[in-house]
Amino acid sequence: MALTDEGQSPELSYRAMQARELGRAFGLAVAERTVRNRFPGHMVSTLDAEAILLAGFARFGPRPSLGARPRPDFFIEAWRPGEPSRVFVVTVNGNHQKATKRTAKADRSAFKQLARGSERAEHFHLAEWNTTPCLLMSTELLALDGITVNALQAPGEGLLPARPATGRRNADAVLSERNLAYAGAVKVPADGHRERIQDGFFIPRKELGWYGQLLARTGAAGQLAFAGAGTEIAQYLTDKQGHKHYKQQTFAGSSSVRDARHKIGPTVYVGTDQVFRLNRIRVEAFSGIAEELYDLLVKGQVEGYRNRAYELRDTYPTSTTSPLWGPVSFGDDGTVMALRVLPTQDAEESS
């Protein structure tokens, strides 16, 4: 893929946003594909790391936050119902450097971003030091050969225990928060030297089950938010993650709302739509989730949703367009993003 002529020479104020949004998007797409290829037959869920870490490491205050503590950007979970799941730590960055053969390695923006990504990824550990797999991404938007994603990986197990079908340890149960240590939480084993202690977001082995529940429930909240849900999201979040915010009723116009229903291919999707302009052309964007899966999430049935989503994963279209729409992206988790050009005002008046 490559940028358009307009994208090749963005305004200075737009470059940072382009690098942040496009660079992160392409890097994350490569990370997701990497995990899918490594674990075929698994579902893949991508979660914002800050939203996850707030439930266990938020600082006390009127607005819970993680402060400036270094942390990864995303977690990717590869899962199958009734089985242990795998977690990957992901960092993503983008830049506009036009690197040539004469550009020294020390001057490559991508290499600097990968180094900083490594530092941030090193601040998260599951169960013990240095056993959590990492994927570090840096996207060069103006690379000579088009958009290029540079990637580094660190091996590891990243294994979370399987959850029971029922009871307080499954993902349907309301989750309690934790106050896990950050300062001096990670013990680095001795390697011919004295054992040392470092700061980090450390999930103790006894909390791995809780962390798995946290991933599943926060992922459910993300699916509902993608479809424009409102107060239904609150049931899946802890107070530090924003439970009270989503519990309040919002109004159309102040936020997205689940107010659209479309049949795309053989599936009925419910979600939200937005209308915006691209070079004076009105474009409608619809984001939603299969109605059957949406209903399960609204009822608080995370395990039921995961089971059904896994059963349906191969039933969705693989095409990239759809009748009555333009570009369409179908997810194997039952999500869809669809775009279409709306008639111009002149065309509407003439009809």
Judge if 245 and 265 occupy the same domain.
no
Judge if 262 and 129 occupy the same domain.
no
Alpha-carbon dihedral of residues 245, 221, 264, 292, nearest 10 degrees?
Answer: -110
Quote the distance between the C-alpha of residue 342 and its chain's center.
29
Distance CA 70, CA 122 (A): 9
Distance CA 154, CA 139 (A): 18
Judge if 16 and 101 occupy the same domain.
yes
Total length of the chain: 351
Residues facing residue 124 across a β-bridge: 201
Judge if 236 and 323 occupy the same domain.
no
Quote the distance between the C-alpha of residue 127 and its chain's center.
22
**Domain final residue pick, 249, 283, 304:** 249
Judge if 167 and 268 occupy the same domain.
no
Judge if 262 and 236 occupy the same domain.
no
Judge if 309 and 177 occupy the same domain.
no
DSSP track, 159-172: EEPPPPSSSTTSTT
Judge if 121 and 231 occupy the same domain.
yes
Angle at CA 180, nearest 5°, toward 174 and 181? 175
Judge if 64 and 175 occupy the same domain.
yes
Residues of the chain below pLDDT 70 = 1, 6-7, 9-13, 192, 248-258, 345-351
pTM of the model: 0.90
Amino acid at 286: F
For residue 130, the tally of other CB atoms under 10 A from its CB is 13
Task: Give me the pLDDT at residue 250, please.
Answer: 57
Domain count, the chain: 2
Tokens of 264: 């795309």
**Domain final residue pick, 249, 283, 311:** 249
Angle at CA 223, nearest 5°, toward 219 and 226? 135
DSSP state at residue 84: -
Least Cα distance to 99 among 109, 90, 89, 91 occurs for 109
Task: Give me the pLDDT at residue 254, please.
Answer: 44
**Domain final residue pick, 196, 227, 249:** 249
Task: Give me the pLDDT at residue 11, please.
Answer: 66
**With DSSP H G I counted as helix, E B as strand and the rest as coil, what are the percentages for the chain, rounded to 5?**
35, 25, 40
DSSP state at residue 39: S
Kindly report, residue by residue over 176-190, the tens digit of the pLDDT: 999 999 999 998 887
CB 322 within 8 A of CB 308: no
Task: Give me the pLDDT at residue 230, please.
Answer: 86
Residues whose CB falls within 8 Å of the CB of residue 55, separated by 6 or more in sequence, listed in order: 175, 177, 178, 214, 218, 238, 240, 241
Judge if 329 and 186 occupy the same domain.
no
Tokens of 96: 């506009």
What are the C-alpha distances in Å from 164 to residues 159, 169, 341?
16, 7, 47
Q: Which residue range is the domain that position 313 belongs to?
A: 258-351
Judge if 276 and 240 occupy the same domain.
no
Q: Which H or E element spans position 270?
A: strand 267-278
Judge if 227 and 114 occupy the same domain.
yes
Q: Which H or E element spans position 281?
A: strand 281-290
